[in-house]
Structure 1
Amino acid sequence: MVYPEPWCMPRLFTPEIAAFYEGYYSNKGIKIIKGTVATGFIYNADGEVTEVQLKDGQSLEADIVVVGVGGRPLTTLFKGQVEEDKGGIKTDAFFKTSVPDVYAVGDVATFPLKLYNDVRRVEHVDHARKSAEQAVKAIMSEGKFIDEYDYLPYFYSRAFDLSWQFYGDNVGDTVLFGNNDPKAPKPKFGTYWIKDGKVVGAFLEGGSPDENKAIAKVARVQPAVSSLMELEKEGLTFACKI
């Protein structure tokens, strides 16, 4: 695995969270190279890739290459026709655009995120599905009242026998809890994000369905925290008692 950042998934992971997954993957025989990018590929006479050239001068032998470069919302088709904001098509809480009877959902929509009193874009399949549901409700409402979209940001991943979930906002101070030893037979750990004295985000690896529901509730309720040290000691118990 080759990526340009100083640690894995820095947009979400703290260095402590990333260290667990980097260690776990390394224990599975995966070599991780950080701080550089691929700049070229070497092919054989049959057109099969045999080598990857990196910006830092390294060359890696390869039989197959998977390139993950991300993507940007494709909104150029609508330039000058609909109002835009923050790289997406601006909508209201029902995903109506500035053009009557035109709706935008999923990654391309910049919408009011009620929980944080902010306007954002969210790139994830969970929001794509739920925003589409909201738009259909609005289209089919025939003038009847429907609730505004009130989304709790949610991300997840599964790899090997691991499974993590994250809810809320990853801003502010962080508290790590649990066992994040990548060599542990059944690792279970998590992180809280605390801003203005309240828990605003929660991450959990190895949680049960009920425990994942608990961290989702914490991120939604945003309970006050008096001591980061006490929060670290309580760990997952803090979420489960909310």
Structure 2
Amino acid sequence: MADQQALPAGPDLSKGVAPSEFAGDMLLGHVGDDEVLLVRSGSELFAIGAHCTHYHGPLAEGLVTGEGIRCPWHHACFDLRTGEAVRAPALSPVAVWKVEQQDGRIFVREKREQPKPQVKGVTDAPSRIVIIGGGAAGFAAAEMLRRQDYHGSIVMLSHDAAAPVDRPNLSKDYLAGSAPEDWVPLRPNDFYAEAKIDLRLNTEVTSIDPNARHVVTSGGETIPYDRLLLATGAEPVRLPIPGADQPNVHVLRSLADSRAIIASAGGARRAVVIGASFIGLEVAASLRARNIEVHVVGLEQRPMERVLGSEMGDFVRALHEEHGVIFHLGDTVTGIDGKRATLKSGGAIDADIVIVGVGVRPRLELAEQAGLAVDRGVTVNAYLETSVPGIYAAGDIARWPDPHSLETIRVEHWVVAERQGQTAARNMLGQREPFHAVPFFWSQHYDVPINYIGYAEKWDEITVDGDIPRKDCLLQYKRNGRVLAVASIYRDVASLEAELAMEKARAP
């Protein structure tokens, strides 16, 4: 007998529900084949599409915050009135539906026309904006400029060969072989022409002239700007060891890098991953999904201990060992000769492919050459403006004043880069919006997601609620009794609530 198609969840909202059936903040139902989420916020009722437009996360398991709703998986936020994706990593809106109340029942029958995004007043709209960088921050800025009804020129200069892609996928599902090719681009190729974004790939910018307000490319072209966003990102650290330039040795940053690893993995039996932090271990998990034997070599005594602490480090190691990963910790690779990686400890590992994941360094050369203030990153103020008026910086290169940790920080997180790009876009239009977002990232290891909010470079206490080995926990990283960061496994609402609490604490 053929499998029956899964029925939509919850009650049929087109037939109405009684208020008694809708006791909490949210009720998941359907209208026809569409899953629809009925939401109560204060005295108002809203109806929106039930799934996040980022990775299809279930909004019914998220958190209602005033006129917004947050996704439990990766902390995107949607406006309940308009459906707009007001906070990355989601970029596309969710559908909004009409809510009617008749004869003591609540009905949802038809979609509303998607309202236009809310646009703040523009006080000083420039005619020409240039964005250097085609990663998370650069793309999010360009997309937000058009969403904010900016009609001027946008030129995006990217040294990459591919249009902006969903980089977290490159070390996770795409590398593992479980994500199709069409998941990878952030937008289809025709988006840029339709949005009048002049995206120029394979383009290297060689200099910025802040006085003349133009940039120069390696091809000799001079491109003028009224506002400039520097979003050059970071580049992988390459090991200065013999054999690191062999064709079977890879780093992972771009779509081309991920494709090269996939091609090499085709006939491979064994891989060596150098580096036991997030990128290295996500690669290790993805290669195990391809049934490749994986050896991880790392200088640290515990994976991820510097960021997550010893207990989580032990858990991550045990999780990977359960899936067959072999660790060589407190060690490093001193040379690669053909398919043999020599260890500092004296041993050697024969491997078909080697992936180097030992961190990245911010691409600061342009900022330094242009005379911008630089301190282990490009120094920006609360509005993400650099020391030179009219030039902004966002993403992996930006070092900004964080109101929660009370430090100037630079982080290399995808969601942070996107949100900074969005804030920089609004500020290039004169909106003067401080960047107050709490840093967030997620890391995926097999079926286990680790969410992390805040920033804790140092701590003097870690409190654990729940059970780490049972994959049900929330950890607070504290200094002098103050919570600086929170990590969690399968505590999605608690993670969202902790994020909201940090936001309220840092609000001006």
Give, in angstroms, the shift of residue 220 of structure 1.
4.1
C-alpha contact (below 8 Å) 2:334/2:344 kept by paired residues = yes
Question: Which string of whole-angstrom CA distances, capped at 9 and with x for unpartnered residues, describes residues 37-66 of structure 1?
Answer: 1111121xxxxxx22111111111212211
How far apart in 2 are the matches of 1:189 and 1:35? 28
Match status 1:138 vs 2:427: yes
Q: Which amino acid aligns with 2:398?
A: A
Partner of 2:465: 177
Q: What percent identity do the matched residue pairs reach?
A: 24
Partner residue of 1:201 out of 485, 491, 495 = 485
TM-score by length of 2: 0.39
Partner of 1:232: none
How far apart in 2 are the matches of 1:137 and 1:219? 23
Partner of 1:157: 443
Match status 1:191 vs 2:475: yes
Match status 1:51 vs 2:345: no
How far apart in 2 are the matches of 1:190 and 1:42? 44
Partner of 2:127: none
Q: Which amino acid aligns with 2:463?
A: V
Q: Which amino acid aligns with 2:495?
A: N
State the SS of the aligned residue for 2:464. Answer: strand
Give, in angstroms, the shift of residue 169 of structure 1.
2.9
Give, in angstroms, the shift of residue 17 of structure 1.
0.5
Partner of 1:238: none
How far apart in 2 are the matches of 1:215 and 1:92? 25
Give, in angstroms, the shift of residue 206 of structure 1.
2.2
Show structure 1 runs of 5+ residues with no match: 44-49, 223-242
Q: Which amino acid aligns with 2:467?
A: N
State the SS of the aligned residue for 2:305. Answer: coil
Partner of 1:115: 404
How far apart in 2 are the matches of 1:101 and 1:207? 42
Q: Which has the higher contact order (CA 8 A, sep 6+)?
A: 2
Q: Say which is worse superposed, 90-99 or 127-136, in terms of deviation.
A: 90-99
State the SS of the aligned residue for 2:317. Answer: helix
How far apart in 2 are the matches of 1:8 and 1:189? 18
How far apart in 2 are the matches of 1:199 and 1:160? 29
State the SS of the aligned residue for 2:391. Answer: coil
C-alpha contact (below 8 Å) 1:114/1:151 kept by paired residues = no
Give, in angstroms, the shift of residue 134 of structure 1.
1.0
C-alpha contact (below 8 Å) 2:367/2:374 kept by paired residues = no
Question: Which string of whole-angstrom CA distances, capped at 9 and with x for unpartnered residues, describes residues 184-221 of structure 1?
Answer: 5xx2123112223232221101233x233123234445
Change (3 A) 1:82 1:90: farther
Larger radius of gyration: 2
Query: How many pairs does the alignment contain?
Result: 208
Show structure 2 runs of 5+ residues with no match: 1-295
Partner residue of 1:217 out of 493, 496, 500 = 500
